[in-house]
């Protein structure tokens, strides 16, 4: 079971209070983009065993979207942060590096 902390209201709740929203930090390719970019935006997703970034919504609480950095194999949560960002904050990256030296996820490390 995952215990997530909502960065907006500070509630630490178990995962049934939240709802997963798929992979985080997707870059949108819209009208005018190449077919390949659009295809990857729509369909290509990471499926890592290890460090992963996901969108979550505090659906039964304050209703806000946030991003969680966690390990898909051990369910360790490295941290959560507000969704108004295009890349993980340095503080979160440092925590991941401390626990999983040499980690890599898409373009982030």
Partner 1 sequence: MSETVTALGGAHYAGYATITEQPARGMITLRGNLAEVAVKNAATGVAGVDMPDLRECHIVDQRGIAWMSPDELLVMVPHPEVASAVSTIQQTLSGLHSLVVDVSDARALFRIEGSGAREVLAKLCPVDLSPAAFGPGQIRRTRLGHVSAAFWMVDDSAFELVCFRSVAQYAFDLLKTAAEPGGEVGVF
Q: With respect to partner 1, which residue has the nearer C-beta, 13 or 21?
A: 13
* Residue 42 binds partner 1, judged by CB under 8 A: no
Give the DSSP per-residue string, 6-63: -TTT--EEEGGGSEEEEESSPPP--TTS-HHHHHHHHH-----SSEEEEEEE-TTTT-
* Residue 21 binds partner 1, judged by CB under 8 A: no
* Residue 11 binds partner 1, judged by CB under 8 A: yes
Residue of the chain from 33, 36, 42, 62 that contacts partner 1 (CB under 8 A): 62
CA-closest candidate to residue 100, choices 81, 64, 72:
72
What are the tokens at 67?
């991003």
Residue of the chain from 27, 42, 63, 87 that contacts partner 1 (CB under 8 A): 63
Are 108 and 87 contacting, i.e. CB atoms less than 8 angstroms apart? yes
* Residue 61 binds partner 1, judged by CB under 8 A: yes
**Under the rule (CB under 8 A), what is the footprint of partner 1?**
8-11, 13-14, 16-17, 59-64
């Amino acid at each position: 079971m995952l215990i997530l902390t909502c960065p907006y209201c500070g509630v630490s709740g178990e995962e049934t209070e939240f709802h997963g929203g798929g992979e985080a930090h997707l870059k949108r390719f819209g009208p005018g983009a190449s077919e390949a970019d659009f295809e990857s935006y729509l369909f290509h997703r990471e499926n890592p065993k290890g460090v992963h970034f996901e969108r979550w919504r505090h659906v039964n609480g304050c209703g806000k979207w946030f991003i969680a950095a966690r390990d898909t194999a051990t369910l360790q949560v490295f941290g959560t942060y507000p969704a108004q960002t295009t890349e993980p904050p340095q503080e979160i990256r440092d925590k991941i590096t401390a626990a999983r030296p040499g980690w890599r996820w898409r373009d982030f490390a």
